[in-house]
Amino acid sequence: MIFGRSERGKPPVEPVTLKILVAGGFGVGKTTLVGAVSEIRPLRTEELLTEAGRPVDDISGVEGKHTTTVAMDFGRITLRENLVLYLFGTPGQERFWFMWDELSEGALGAVVLADTRRLEDCFAAVDYFERRSIPFLVGVNCFDDAARYPAEAVRQALDLDDGVPLLLCDARDRESVKEVLIGLVRHAMAHTAERRRAATG
């Protein structure tokens, strides 16, 4: 690109930037998901777990976890030349939930990551986005040592509305995560179009 114009003489494309949150319980794979797809080195605000945090940080089921996000994770992915997603991973512990309001400002939607071994840990995130009418989908992170359940069984356990997408995924796998993000963008766009129709109808 030279002096604001592309080499072929076409004006540069101004990309649409969309903000997406990645939420869910402690140790569910939010930092891993952001890192799997980010085209830049993700900004991470992780700190080591300490003895002082043991009474409040339940690591049962994720005993190998040694760090925790204390502010947010940030990454970026370009889906097309004119579409860039900014990913914000939220902290999972209750004591950091005050940051969710700040992070959700202007968000297109959210991915709520779920772990079938500790499904109840994502209830707060599901409730948060439902109450604020922020479009979201649930991504079930299929850990190697976790039992596999049909998507419909997980949907019933979470008591999700029929309109909320639920996808099985691997937070370590770039292509799997991209499918989840594309699914969220489609869902959020449909949600926005429906609200506009309702407002004008």
pLDDT in tens, 116-141: 999 999 999 999 999 999 999 999 99
Residue 12 pLDDT exceeds 80: no
Q: Is residue 119 part of a domain?
A: yes
Tokens of 47: 């700190």
Q: Is residue 8 part of a domain?
A: no
Tokens of 75: 């990454």
User: Average per-residue pLDDT in the chain?
Assistant: 84
Report how far residue 190's alpha carbon sits from residue 51's, in angstroms, rounded to the nearest whole number.
46
Q: Is residue 47 part of a domain?
A: yes
Residues near 179 by Cβ (< 8 Å), separated by ≥ 6? 167, 169
Confidence of residue 5 (pLDDT cuts 50, 70, 90): very low
Q: Is residue 141 part of a domain?
A: yes
Report how far residue 180's alpha carbon sits from residue 177's, in angstroms, rounded to the nearest whole number.
5
Residue 44 pLDDT exceeds 70: no
Residue 60 belongs to what domain range?
16-200
Q: Is residue 103 part of a domain?
A: yes
Residue 178 pLDDT exceeds 90: yes
Residue 81 pLDDT exceeds 90: no
In sign, the C-alpha dihedral spanning 86, 31, 55, 158 is: positive
Residue 49 pLDDT exceeds 50: no
Q: Is residue 6 part of a domain?
A: no
CATH number at residue 48: 3.40.50.300
Establish how many alpha carbons lie within 13 A of residue 32's alpha carbon, considering only the half-sphere containing its beta carbon: 17
Minimum mean pLDDT among 62-71, 96-105, 135-144, 172-181: which range?
62-71
pLDDT score recorded for residue 68: 53
Please give the span between the terminal C-alpha atoms of the chain, in angstroms, as a whole number.
Answer: 45
Q: Is residue 89 part of a domain?
A: yes
- Candidates 124, 182, 188; CA nearest to 158 is 124
Report how far residue 29's alpha carbon sits from residue 31's, in angstroms, rounded to the nearest whole number.
6
Q: Is residue 110 part of a domain?
A: yes
pTM more than 0.85? no
Count the domains in the chain. Answer: 1
